[in-house]
Amino acid sequence: MTRSTRRTRTLRAAGVGAAAMLALSACSSSGSSGSADDSSSSGSGVSGASSAKPSGTVTVFAAASLKESFTALGKEFEQRYPGTKVTFDFGGSDTLAASINGGAPADVFAAASAKTMKIVTDEGDTAGAPVTFVRNQLEIATLPGNPHKVSSLKDLTPSGLKVVLCAKTVPCGAAAQKALSASGLKLTPVSYEQDVKGALTKVELKEADAAVVYRTDVKAAGDKVAGVEFPESAKAVNDYPIARLKNAPNATAAKAFIELVRSAAGRKVLTGDGFLEP
């Protein structure tokens, strides 16, 4: 074989190798592009789905009327996510809202009215818009057996009857005032309580003959009180909004707790306790 022939074959081989390298490079470039898209898509999916596993303590500020339902959901949350702990601060929504605006460390706020949630949103203290997850309606709680034969809102007006209302700034109190206005009635209660549980307790302890509370609280009290429905309550139904707080110390667990509250399992617990669908 001549030197010229060997040189020609060498050049051809080099050309084939270069072509092969170019082809591989093109395939690799195309494959990399696809992987990047997949990775990007996967990444955005993860952030959107909040796939991080909840851990640690999540602090929930919630309206007093949510005590029974949220306590049950808190236990469910801890079972779903071992190693987590849910702590609650139940009370009047207006008081809780003021505490949040004052810097109280909390992850989630569930209020008993849009008005009290607005106290927090107006200060920019929520992460995103609040969402209504349930509604609640008023009912009259009387002593067991209803000895005073209360059958309507009007039956609470006699001066000899000891009636308790929630404070007017509290959602249950604001709703009661709305129902009274709708019926053209006026009550002079023996006391105004700072949350709905306080009003209910007065009847449970027989310190009052009746109180205007939520139907959920009457149900939770069992045979400690008797419940009386009244038509004006339909004109004063409260929406309950829930939101993650902007400075939530545990944002991941906060999101997961809200997801549980709004899930089918959460709705089952809440409606089972007497709350209405949103």
pLDDT averaged over consecutive 10-residue blocks of the chain (278 residues)? Answer: 42 41 38 33 35 92 98 98 98 97 97 98 96 98 97 95 96 96 93 97 98 97 97 95 97 98 98 96
pTM for this prediction: 0.80
pLDDT at 52: 84
CATH, domain 138-235, list 2.60.120.10, 3.60.9.10, 3.10.180.10, 3.40.190.10: 3.40.190.10
Look at the block and give the residue holding tokens 């849910």. Answer: 86
Q: Please state the domain extents for the chain.
A: 56-135+238-272, 138-235
**C-alpha to C-alpha distance for 107 and 255, rounded to whole angstroms:** 9
Residues in Cβ contact with 72 at an 8 Å cutoff, skipping those fewer than 6 apart: 269
Rounded Cα distance between 4 and 133, Å, is: 86
Is the domain 56-135+238-272 a CATH 3.40.190.10 member?
Answer: yes
Confidence (pLDDT) at 7: 41
CA dist 37 and 172 (Å) reads 52
Q: What are phi and psi of 109, to 5 degrees?
A: -125, 125
Are residues 221 and 65 in contact, defined by beta-carbon separation less than 8 angstroms? no
Kindly report the number of other CB atoms within 10 A of residue 179's CB atom. 22
Spatial distance between the Cα atoms of 171 and 173, rounded to a whole number of angstroms: 5
- The answer to whether 171 touches 239, Cβ cutoff 8 Å, is no
Q: Tell me whether the CATH fold assigned to 56-135+238-272 matches the one assigned to 138-235.
A: yes
Which pLDDT score is estimated for 51?
Answer: 64
Neighbours of 216 (CB within 10 A): 23
* Rounded distance between C-alpha atoms, residue 145 and residue 234, angstroms: 24
| Strand spans (E) along 42-156 | 56-63, 84-91, 108-110, 131-136, 138-142
